[in-house]
Amino acid sequence: MNILDIITRKKNGISLSYDELEYAFNGYLNKKIPSYQMSALLMAITINGMNMSETLALTDIFIKSGEEYHISDYINNSVDKHSTGGVGDTTTLVVGPMCAAMGMHMAKMSGRGLGITGGTIDKLESIPGMNLKLTKDELIEKASTVGFALSAQTSELTPLDKVVYALRDVTGTTESLPLIASSIMSKKIALGAENILIDIKVGDGALVKNQSQAEELSRMLKEIGTSYNKKVETIISDMNTPLSYAIGNALEVKEAINVLKGKKCPLYYKAVECAANLLSMTRGLDYNESIIYAEKAIETGKALEKFYEFVKSQGGRIDELELAENVIPINANKSGKIKKIDALGAAKLAAKVGASKMKLDDTIDYSVGLYLNVKEGDYVKEGDLLLKVYVNNPNIELTNSDFSFIDIEGE
């Protein structure tokens, strides 16, 4: 086999065999294929696509590049969820405890933030003492006893996805649907929960730009799941505006607690939707009935209790969670309707104050970020509080353009 032939075939729109994909991708992992040739192949795939049998083959090659945990062999009612990445997406921190409260078991591996979207691991690292490097045995033990356990991705599982994802990130090949589908599903299947929910984010700031792409991705994810005997459901959610009022690591942890205490806001409804979908899949319940149980998990305080139990079991000291001391209030400069709160702009401001990495070697300040006081559709009067900015550097220069992500339609 010859890598140039493989690249040329894909460039000409010919579908590749399992063996050809394996030769190219495993060759890259084993450093026999250089990154410029892998980049060319990824670009050809991004432009010409892959059919379902190629997508299934690539998923399998990703899975077989590392260990498989087979979680569902050890844990009953095992569930997993994944979001394709969003701004202020604190859903996992609410859904995990809700699932635990309803008798499901979530053993989850999460990533760090990519670009300006924050990762669940970064958020939890804001809790002093939190151990997010669990071994397979610890992950399984905690998921079975507590009901929710979370660990950072290790390179034991799908190491091939890790190197390919990093290359896609810098070669303009992140938005290929078959590459997204095989990347996500290989990680889910290598871990091995029985019931898997994928939250597909759609919007300007998201990988998936429109509804029809989201529906196509959804079909691919489900078909891959079926071929591995996994139940896969998807939900499609708008990512043009931040999901949570909080953007920033410790702030998002606090907001997850507020929602678990019953605060009704977009994050609450998204978490209920996710947890109800997982319950409905796991128990074969009607979706509307599942919604009632999911809301009850919060109402009764059980999900909140599970959150604290989860933090404690991984060594976290929630009482020591710290927010930055300097809080800058930002008020409306005119009266009117909040026409738009742009997710990307909000994330950029959070990044500017230090909540996420702009460059690879930046460090994250867990205690900083934004807390929105308004949502799209609200009416404000001039001088009303729009948001609070939490900073550690009181001399940080913030200008009007930093806040242009909030568009007020004046009268």
Catalytic residue among 39, 183, 237, 280: 183
Q: Which is nearer to Ca ion, 108 or 162 (CB)?
A: 108
Q: What is the DSSP string of 125-176?
A: HTSTT------HHHHHHHHHHTSEEEEEPPTTS-HHHHHHHHHHHTTT-TT-
End-to-end CA distance of the chain: 68
Question: Which of Ca ion, ligand URA, none is residue 92 near (CB under 5 to 8 Å by kind)?
Answer: Ca ion
Q: Stretches 86-94, 345-353, 358-366, 369-377: which one binds Ca ion (CB under 5 A)? A: 86-94
Other Cβ atoms less than 10 A from the Cβ of 314: the count is 22
Q: Which is nearer to ligand URA, 206 or 311 (CB)?
A: 206
Nearest 5 degrees, angle CA 87-CA 204-CA 257?
Answer: 15
Residue 400 makes CB contacts below 8 A (sequence gap 6+) with none
* C-alpha–C-alpha distance, residues 187 and 82, integer Å: 10
The CB-nearest residue to ligand URA is 183
Applying the rule CB under 6 A, the residues between 106 and 165 that interact with ligand URA are 165
Residue 256 makes CB contacts below 8 A (sequence gap 6+) with 90, 93, 94, 267, 307
Shortest Å, Cβ 184 to ligand URA = 5
**The pair of three-digit structure tokens given for residue 134, joined into one six-digit string:** 């669990």
Per-residue binding letters, 53-92, with ligand URA (x by CB under 6 A): -------------------------------xx-------
Residue 330, beta-bridge partner list? 387
* C-alpha–C-alpha distance, residues 262 and 143, integer Å: 24
Q: Spell out a b/e string for 320-358, using b for 16 or more CB atoms within 10 Å of the CB, else e.
A: ebebbeeeeebebeeeeebebbbbbbbbbbbbbbbbbbe
Question: Which of ligand URA, Ca ion, none is residue 54 near (CB under 5 to 8 Å by kind)?
Answer: none
Catalytic residue among 81, 105, 187, 201: 187
Question: Which of ligand URA, Ca ion, none is residue 83 near (CB under 5 to 8 Å by kind)?
Answer: Ca ion
* C-alpha–C-alpha distance, residues 382 and 404, integer Å: 16
* C-alpha–C-alpha distance, residues 155 and 339, integer Å: 44
**The pair of three-digit structure tokens given for residue 145, joined into one six-digit string:** 């006893």
Shortest Å, Cβ 249 to Ca ion = 13
Applying the rule CB under 6 A, the residues between 174 and 193 that interact with ligand URA are 179-180, 183-184
Shortest Å, Cβ 310 to ligand URA = 23
* C-alpha–C-alpha distance, residues 390 and 321, integer Å: 14
Please give the size of the binding site for ligand URA, defined by CB under 6 A.
Answer: 8
Nearest one of 343, 327, 355, 328 to 406, comparing CA atoms: 343
Q: Which is nearer to Ca ion, 89 or 252 (CB)?
A: 89
Shortest Å, Cβ 403 to ligand URA = 29
Shortest Å, Cβ 76 to ligand URA = 26
Q: Give 264: exposed, middle or buried? Use CB within 10 Å, 0-12, 13-18, 19+.
A: exposed
Q: Which is nearer to Ca ion, 108 or 136 (CB)?
A: 108
Shortest Å, Cβ 379 to ligand URA = 36
Judge whether 161 counts as a catalytic residue: yes
Question: Which of ligand URA, Ca ion, none is residue 368 near (CB under 5 to 8 Å by kind)?
Answer: none
Per-residue binding letters, 2-41, with ligand URA (x by CB under 6 A): ----------------------------------------
Q: What is the DSSP string of 311-336?
A: HHHTT--GGG----SEEEEEE-SS-E
* C-alpha–C-alpha distance, residues 349 and 351, integer Å: 5
Task: Out of 54, 80, 89, 273, point to the residue binding Ca ion (CB under 5 A).
Answer: 89
Q: Does 207 bind ligand URA (CB under 6 A)?
A: yes
Question: Which of Ca ion, ligand URA, none is residue 271 near (CB under 5 to 8 Å by kind)?
Answer: none
Residue 385, beta-bridge partner list? 331
Judge whether 187 counts as a catalytic residue: yes
Q: Which is nearer to ligand URA, 200 or 294 (CB)?
A: 200
Question: Which of ligand URA, Ca ion, none is residue 184 near (CB under 5 to 8 Å by kind)?
Answer: ligand URA
**The pair of three-digit structure tokens given for residue 295, joined into one six-digit string:** 């809301």
The CB-nearest residue to Ca ion is 83
Beta-carbon-side half-sphere exposure of residue 291 (alpha carbons within 13 Å): 6
Task: Out of 46, 65, 83, 117, point to the residue binding Ca ion (CB under 5 A).
Answer: 83
Shortest Å, Cβ 390 to Ca ion = 21
Judge whether 155 counts as a catalytic residue: no
Positions annotated as catalytic residues are: 82, 161, 168, 183, 187
Interacting residues toward Ca ion by CB under 5 A: 83, 89, 92
Interacting residues toward ligand URA by CB under 6 A: 84-85, 165, 179-180, 183-184, 207
